[in-house]
Structure 1
Amino acid sequence: MSAKFSTLIYEKANHRALIVLNRPDALNAFDRTMQRELKAAWQMVKEDEDVRVVILTGAGDKAFCSGVDLKDGEDPETKAKKERDPWHHEDAGARLTSKQNGVWKPVITAVNGLCNAGAFYFIYDSDIVIASEGATFFDTHVSYGLVTALEPIGLTRRVPLGEVLRIALVGGDERVSAKRAYEIGLVSEVVLQAELMPAAERLAASIASHPPIAVQGTVKAIWSGLDVGRKQALELGELYPRVGNTPEALKQLHEKLARKDKPKWRLR
């Protein structure tokens, strides 16, 4: 199954949704149209019970995403609101990601090229990030005299502070290689370009094979715990299993134990 978008490719198969940022001529930068379409795509993911996991990537092999499309200009309605109210602010990246749209189905982001500036919204809200060996990561905000704030703040959840500061302050003068991104924990796997999508599909198939209530409850528990202190996070950690570990789930557990199923696993 597929849905029609002008800036995205959306396909569904085997409990997996594939979302492709499809503006390769603009290095997959997001404009206002893509922002609207991403919001709609995440709503589709949220409402479709058949979808258990999402793969997000960019079209072509040059870029995953180069951030906001500056050529698109400011939304006229937003500009008018700012003129009436100097305190009014709308972030261009406010509705790009699954978490921003209240979706708790796992997202695997496959970085297939350069990843710049606003593209980090997708990275820091993903559950699993993998990259091709030619992928690079950087943030050009300060190089153009712009403050970078939301992107590096989001990255501090995934990457040591010193690395975030270096990415933010050096700007476009330095790019983080896929190898270095793996070393600092920005991505969890680096593969050949030709192996990127097969690797993402393998992960998606593994996740989709597990009971969706357990998977989504796990995602929500972990991310919710990041927004509070340690004590509150542990209290939340006690709550989610009570809700998500349903009688049906416990029944399946005992059936598996009775069958003495041997798990199939791979070493990474």
Structure 2
Amino acid sequence: MSTTTVLDVDEDDESVDQKEYMSIIGSLLYLTATRPDIHFEYGVQGSFAYHFLFPCSTMPRAPSYGVRRRNRTLKRNAAHQKGLSCLQKATTVFRMLTYGVPVDATDEYVRIGESTTLKSLRRFVKVVIDVFEDEYLRTPNDNDTARLLALGEERGFPGMLGSLDCMHWRWKNCLSAYQGQYSGHYHTPTIILEAVASHDLWIWHAFFGLPGSLNDINVLHRSPLFAKLSNGEAPQVNYNINGHNYSMGYYLADGIYPSWATLVKTILEP
């Protein structure tokens, strides 16, 4: 069948059962899914029958794409003005943050413009900062330090401020020019995240963005984690271990880290 073929209604032909006819068309479409030419022919016949042979059918008729698109996109906000729905805006934001796709890649799927997507992303990030800044996006104060020390002492580590480690986040859409710089022992482009977390998963330090070709030691040398300690502005910590008094907290780390006084590594054979 040609793509320009036009079908007409045969007024002299005998009538057929509409449900049976549409059921046959649907079955043929399913059977010919691997044959695009035959699949197209039966699709044209089914569309013609649905709109012209049975126009007054009691079968449920779906609205056209344009009507469905308008009903789906134009919603009234709190100011009773029509615009894009909040579900569309949230979907585009999560697709960009999750899959790392560019702005214009969400237009075909969600039917939303580039400027609106960027505005929604900025508002989402701003809300996240406003909600979680006071608890997560800051350095520990005196009360937080006391709570961390209490948690560490409760678990048998007096003076511990948290666990320090690095992890590699895969950069799926890394540019070809940067792949060598961001590829390390994972043999794929990654971005390193250095974090300090407590026992209750409170991450109060996050240093993100260094290339994956670095290791934990290189990241530590560039990290601002010990900036206050080097400037003499670290919080006061006092604890006693085996009769010795200490005034500087420490972090639990794995064996790759250097032997610093602020880092306590695992002991293979205690």
**TM-score normalised by the shorter chain: which range applies?**
under 0.3
Which of the two has higher C-alpha Rg? 2
Give the TM-score, by structure 1 length: 0.26
Q: Name the one with the larger helix percent.
A: 1
TM-score when scaled to structure 2? 0.26
RCO comparison, higher one (Cα < 8 Å, 6+): 1
